[in-house]
Amino acid sequence: MTLSKNKNVLVTADQELTLCFYVPLDYAVPFLAGFGFDKIHAGHIANMKKIKYYDPVLMLAHFDNNIHAHVSRANKHKVKHLPRKSPTD
């Protein structure tokens, strides 16, 4: 997500979708929740259905194409049920 003075621009990691909205990210999450999105970090929302596994050591949610996003301590309960990265990976 890129922040500007007047608006938030949300671009998906695969750049398939770009949304421009004039509300804080916290206000956008309830509208996107119906599509499977949730907040996982102060500046990251993720489609929870697209997370392949969670690395609890590095606190990263991993997606396809070697894309990852940080998960905050406050939001790790949202991903702790997901498959974990094995220590040998």
Q: In the chain, where are the structural domains located?
A: 2-78
So what's the pLDDT on residue 1?
A: 41
pLDDT, tens only, 1-30: 433 344 565 666 666 666 666 677 777 788
Query: What value does the mean pLDDT of the chain take?
Result: 79
CA–CA distance from 16 to each of 11, 19, 61 (Å)?
8, 10, 19
Q: Please, where are the H alpha helices in the chain?
A: 25-32
Q: Six-digit token pair at 76?
A: 């790790």
CATH superfamily assigned to domain 2-78: LytTr DNA-binding domain (2.40.50.1020)
Say how far apart CA 27 and CA 87 lie, in whole Å. Answer: 37
Report pTM. 0.72
Task: Indicate the range of 1-15, 41-55, 70-84 predicted with least confidence.
Answer: 1-15
Say how far apart CA 74 and CA 35 lie, in whole Å. Answer: 22
Q: What is the DSSP letter of 9?
A: E
Amino acid at residue number 81: H
